[in-house]
Structure 1
Amino acid sequence: MDLAQQWSEFLIEATEEEREVASLYLESLKRIQSGKNGTHIGALMGIKSEFQEPDTLTMTIPNTAILQNSLDILHGGLTATLLDSAMGTLAFKLIPEDKAAVTTEMKINYVAKGVGNEFTCVANVIHKGSKLLVMEGKVFRDDQTLIAHATGSFFIIPKRV
């Protein structure tokens, strides 16, 4: 059975929620195809990034059924992914082009449930050394309530060519 037939069969039997989630997957693939997102996880989460200052990055995601856990709140692992993505993206912006930054440690405190229409992560630099960056990230709901706080360390390594 080809892919078009698989999609057709799925959609015929799908619930409204399953159709909504399938649509979100398709939209994420289109974001990859168009170059709006560079990774599949970023596209699936609907990540949008903006550099605020030289040492600050804001990353926003919409709240969708894909991101929720069984309690209908933002999944903690996806909150961690948002924090790691924001801090890591900022780390990459601050290092020379021939280098890469990889997460070596991250500590997260979850302080409120993730509900609302969107979530915004603000990442800042705590320390920038020649071999290590230490970052801070905070995730807020759309009512400005802090839901998670993290610190992360990133090794600076040679970029693979």
Structure 2
Amino acid sequence: MFKITTILCPVDFSDASRKAVQYAKEFARSMEASLYLLNVVEPRPMAVDISLNYVPLEADLEKASMEDLEVIMQELIHGGFKASCGVEIGNPADVILDKIDECNANLVIMGSHGKKGLSRLIMGSVAETVVRKANCPVLIVKTEEKEFIE
């Protein structure tokens, strides 16, 4: 029988990813698997800001994300789960796919914002890319985006 030992759960702090963490907890509990929470900070293009307003750089975003992830991880550990976390900088789909191999994940549980139409075409879908290219099963936890005219 196939044994799930490590579950990778990408977290972007959206409602969809928070819901995915809940699913990951249930799977981890029933399978006695460890959880790895991952946040990916996308690189921002450098631009000259003539207004001299401070714009957080990747390092600042990485530090803030790690602090937020550690709060979730500590809650998991106090709940009896084996959990760890990390923050990476890069393209979300590529980083998630690399992390699957790096942490020997047997299952990925991730949220999807349910974008449709033009917004999906322009933004792409991290979840879709991961499903297509991952070398392990991927469970997508969906939350539908409300329909609105763009």
Q: So what's the TM-score if we normalise by structure 1?
A: 0.25
The answer to which structure, 1 or 2, has the higher relative contact order (CA under 8 A, 6+ apart) is: 2
- Structure with the larger strand share: 1
**Which structure: larger Rg?**
1
